[in-house]
Amino acid sequence: MTADTNHDSEHDTREVATDGGMSDVEREKQVDYLDVEINLLKPATPFMRDHLRVIWLGFAIWALTTFGPITLTRIAPDVMTTQMPVIGFPLHYFLLAIVGPGAALILSVWYARKRDQIDDKYGIEQPTAAPEPTETTSDDATAADGGVSE
Amino acid sequence: MIDAMVAMPLQSDMLPQGLDISFKALPALIVVGMMLTFMVAGFMYKVADTDNMWVAGRSIGNIENGMAIGANWMSAATYLGVAATVALSGVYGLAYVVGWTTGYFILLIFMAAQMRRFGKYTAPDFVGDRFNSDTARALAAITTFLIGFVYTLGQARGMGLVGMYILGDWSAITGGALSAYQTMMIIFMVITIGYLSLSGMLGATKNMVLQYIILIVAFLLGLVATGWTTGYTTVLPQLEYGMMIDSLSSEFSDPFVGGSYYLWVATCFSLVFGTCGLPHVLVRFYTVQNERIARWSCTWGLFFISLLYLSAPAFAAIGVSLYSDQIGAVYGDPGMSGAAADVLVVTAAQLADLPQWFVGFVAAGGIAAAIATTAGLFIAASSAISHDIYANIINEDATQRQQVLVGRLSIVAIGVLSIIFALDPQQPIAALVGFAFSLAAIVLFPMFFLGLWWENTNRPGALSGMVTGIIVWFIPMFNEGNFGLVNGGEGLGIEVISTWMPAIGSGLIGVPIVFAVTIIVSLITDEPPLETKQMVRQCHSPEPMPKDKTAADVVAERNGNAPADD
């Protein structure tokens, strides 16, 4: 991990010191991952806690956008099959065929950016040994991306 | 209830109505040119060492890998099968659209980067190393082989059906022993096998980018042109087809006509978690430099895939409308056959009176899709045999030359096996491929997920879970008599099983069962050794890993190469 002694003020404002003044980033640096238990429900390190929060939030929204529309159609078929104005789709058809896959794509972009931001926060840089054969996108992860809901 | 559940029509007549079956010079030229390009690309990237054969030297970048994921993924089931199922089974068909796209998000958040960090060559390698067991490795390798085989049946069916549009009826050269479909299927399968045994994964990856471009352009241009010339849609058919849904039969959009709510959820569930267990999809994450590229290429992959999945229902709507205007009723008895539906994308372009070369281009896209995926599957299956079973279990001193030879021989073996079983496929393309997803969801997904996220999963747990999974997968297959396995295709016909555990969606019941078995057995047996746990931990560390290292290397270094006590 990179030894970064200069605290990034932007990040530090977010870390309210609750444990003797050590920030998440500092605590994370003392962690040796080969010694911490991997538990999906009980994250052992600040990094994993941040990461799992994103994962579970994404998973919950995914479950709603994937299985929600068909379930609603089962519960309230009349409402769900009404024709939408302008585009003409029956509502359930639109939610299944377009919103379902679209939401997964938006969520993926959201997750990948969030994960880049977490990497930034903990000063993690991925090595790129050889020059990239293709262009790399989204090098900056500065934009706070809230594009989750449809 | 049962009638609604068995919405997928069985059929044995493999001559799709409405499709113009004859030899066409220009389309044939397009396909031959395309195949030659693949051959040349494969030959140019011809490789002889295993590192290049399996993971392309880990040198593939973001977008390139995303396109390869797309091409690898978008098989005949996507190109032909999704539109076919949406056309025939209406809203139930959308379970395929949703399942085959949204699964990538689960793959992304739970597995892509961790898999990359684990750093092994193949999916069975992961299982074998994670659970310290050659038996587990062999079970995973056999499952991988079985998935490749079942999956390929759908591709072979697609190649045979589309091939007839382009090359016509060649059954005469077999003296009438084989039907037009069978002859065409064999011709294209032989070409695929030949091309694959020449090139390895690097060739295949480079080819896949090419294949992705061909198939996405063919599909999107085909859709826009078909919609435009018939006046149904203009520039954005993916949204405009909403306006025409009202004019189609109610079977197209009424919910739960083509399949019950339960069947919809079960199918979608199986496809989502099957996506996360498919060896030929997971292997694409080993081919990248670092975890960040693994994540972004997964996202790019989903983007490239969505382009087609958002368009397939539009193609289905236009196809259904054209078919019912010009050929006959789509729904009811007799209705459109499964074979006709499977080539609806091509038929629609033909019915729209588009020029023959253009329809041939659309058909060529379908063949490119089938070949690209078959290539990925065969690579995964053959590496399971040559790397995981031969080099790791049978002959530990195998030279690279021997491994590559065994790999090539197993490609031929799986090819021959698929050809035999694809001679008379009783299910539509999408359903055949769906069975492979159920298998991946039930047997492999729990191993990957628990293996990566719960360090206490141990060898007995994994072994009992996988054995249970394989048995569970076969139950509905026998019950429904798929592949003519039981009672000549009649199956056992036990109603409770066909209602609640259809083969196409058996993951909904199977995945929780395998999770439970694996967890319970792991809990009542000894914990795995510390080294294994450390390997799992290494997969979750945020610290970057060099691309040539595996989690096992890092753990061994840390422990001074000495085996740790547990």
> What is the distance, to the nearest Å, from the Cα of residue B226 to the centroid of all Cα atoms in its chain?
27
Q: Judge whether residue A133 has pLDDT over 70.
A: no
Number of domains in chain A: 1
Q: Specify the pLDDT at position B204.
A: 58
Q: Where does A2-96 have alpha helices with state H?
A: 9-12, 24-29, 46-75, 77-80, 91-94
**Position A100 in a domain:** yes
Of B469, B444, B294, B473, the closest CA to residue B380 belongs to B444
Are the CB atoms for B359 and B334 separated by under 8 Å? no
Q: Which two tokens stand for residue A29?
A: 């640096």
Q: Which two tokens stand for residue A30?
A: 């003392």
How much is the CA Rg of chain B, to the nearest whole Å? 23
Give the C-alpha separation, B417 to B475, whole Å: 22
A5 contacts: CB under 8 Å, gap ≥ 6: none
Are the CB atoms for B383 and B143 separated by under 8 Å? no
CB-CB neighbors (< 8 A) of A51 in chain B: 542
CB contact under 8 Å between A105 and B101, yes or no, is yes
Give the C-alpha separation, B196 to B381, whole Å: 12
Are the CB atoms for B521 and B465 separated by under 8 Å? yes
**Position A116 in a domain:** yes
B478 contacts: CB under 8 Å, gap ≥ 6: B485, B486, B491, B492
Instruction: Calculate the average pLDDT of chain A.
Output: 76
Give the C-alpha separation, B181 to B168, whole Å: 9
Q: Is the dihedral of CA B245, B248, B252, B253 positive or negative?
A: positive
Residue at token pair 């769906």: B434
**Position A89 in a domain:** yes
**Position A98 in a domain:** yes
**Position A52 in a domain:** yes
Are the CB atoms for B35 and B189 separated by under 8 Å? no
Cβ-nearest to A125 among B264, B544, B546:
B544
Cβ-nearest to B255 among A55, A73, A111:
A73
Are the CB atoms for B285 and B115 separated by under 8 Å? yes
CB contact under 8 Å between A59 and B306, yes or no, is no
Q: Specify the pLDDT at position A135.
A: 38
Cβ-nearest to A62 among B95, B102, B243:
B102
Min Cα–Cα distance to chain A from B493, Å: 27
Give the C-alpha separation, B72 to B370, whole Å: 9
**Position A34 in a domain:** no
CB-CB neighbors (< 8 A) of B295 in chain A: 111-112, 115
Q: Specify the pLDDT at position B205.
A: 59
CB-CB neighbors (< 8 A) of A100 in chain B: 94, 97-98, 101-102
CB-CB neighbors (< 8 A) of A67 in chain B: 265, 268
Domain that holds residue A105: 41-121
Residues A41-98 pLDDT 10s: 888 888 889 999 999 999 999 999 999 999 999 999 999 989 998 888 999 999 999 9
**Position A141 in a domain:** no
Give the C-alpha separation, B533 to B78, whole Å: 39
Give the C-alpha separation, B369 to B364, whole Å: 9
Q: Specify the pLDDT at position A37.
A: 84
Helices (H) and strands (E) in chain A, counts: 6, 0
Cβ-nearest to B291 among A66, A92, A126:
A126
Q: Specify the pLDDT at position A1.
A: 43
Is some CB atom of chain B closer than 8 A to the CB atom of A36? yes
Give the C-alpha separation, A64 to A52, whole Å: 18
**Position A67 in a domain:** yes
Give the C-alpha separation, B426 to B407, whole Å: 30
Is some CB atom of chain B closer than 8 A to the CB atom of A3? no
Give the C-alpha separation, B537 to B528, whole Å: 13
Of A119, A110, A107, the closest CA to residue A143 belongs to A110
How much is the CA Rg of chain A, to the nearest whole Å? 21
Q: Which two tokens stand for residue B336?
A: 């459109």
CB-CB neighbors (< 8 A) of B289 in chain A: 126-130
CB contact under 8 Å between A103 and B101, yes or no, is no
Give the C-alpha separation, B374 to B157, whole Å: 12
Min Cα–Cα distance to chain A from B558, Å: 9
For residue A61, give the chain B residue with the closest CA. Answer: B105
Q: Which of B541, B545, B554, B558 to mutate to test the interface with A (most CBs of A within 10 A)?
A: B541
Q: Specify the pLDDT at position B558.
A: 79
Q: Specify the pLDDT at position A131.
A: 42
Is some CB atom of chain B closer than 8 A to the CB atom of A123? no
Q: Which two tokens stand for residue B278?
A: 């498919």
Buried b (16+ CB within 10 A) or exposed e, B457-495: bbbbbbbbbbbbbbebbebbbbbbbbbeebeeeebeeee
CB contact under 8 Å between B62 and A136, yes or no, is yes
Strand partners, A39: B454
First to last CA, chain B: 54
**ipTM score of the complex?**
0.88
| Share in percent of chain A as helix, strand, coil (round to 5) | 50, 0, 45
Are the CB atoms for B77 and B157 separated by under 8 Å? no
Phi-psi region of A123 (alpha: psi -120 to 50; beta: other; left: phi over 0): left
Min Cα–Cα distance to chain A from B248, Å: 12
Give the C-alpha separation, B346 to B362, whole Å: 6
CB-CB neighbors (< 8 A) of A92 in chain B: 91, 255
Enumerate residues 64 to 83 of chain A having a beta carbon within 8 A of any beta carbon in chain B: 65-67, 70-71, 73-74, 77, 80-81, 83
Give the C-alpha separation, B245 to B242, whole Å: 5
The number of residues making up chain B comes to: 566
B547 contacts: CB under 8 Å, gap ≥ 6: A127, A129, B58, B289, B290
3-state secondary structure of B155: helix
Identity (one letter) of the amino acid at B115?
M
Q: How confident is the model at residue A19 (pLDDT cuts 50, 70, 90)?
A: low
Identity (one letter) of the amino acid at B499?
T
For residue B543, give the chain A residue with the closest CA. Answer: A1
Is some CB atom of chain B closer than 8 A to the CB atom of A112? yes
Please list the pLDDT of chain B residue by residue as tens digits (566 residues). 333 333 333 333 578 888 989 999 999 999 888 878 877 776 666 554 445 544 444 556 678 888 888 887 888 889 999 999 999 999 999 999 999 999 999 999 998 888 888 877 678 888 998 999 999 999 999 999 899 898 899 999 999 999 999 998 888 888 878 888 999 999 989 988 877 766 554 455 567 778 888 989 999 999 999 999 999 999 999 999 999 998 898 889 999 988 999 999 999 999 999 999 888 777 777 667 788 888 898 999 999 999 999 999 999 999 999 999 999 888 887 888 889 999 999 999 999 999 999 999 999 999 888 887 887 788 878 888 888 888 888 888 888 888 888 888 888 898 999 999 898 887 889 998 999 999 999 999 999 999 999 999 999 999 999 999 999 999 999 888 787 667 766 778 888 888 899 999 999 999 999 999 999 999 999 999 998 998 899 888 888 877 677 888 888 887 776 444 44
CB contact under 8 Å between B102 and A115, yes or no, is no
How many pairs of residues across A and B have Cβ atoms under 8 Å apart?
Answer: 199
Q: Which two tokens stand for residue B411?
A: 């490609």
> What is the distance, to the nearest Å, from the Cα of residue B390 to the centroid of all Cα atoms in its chain?
25
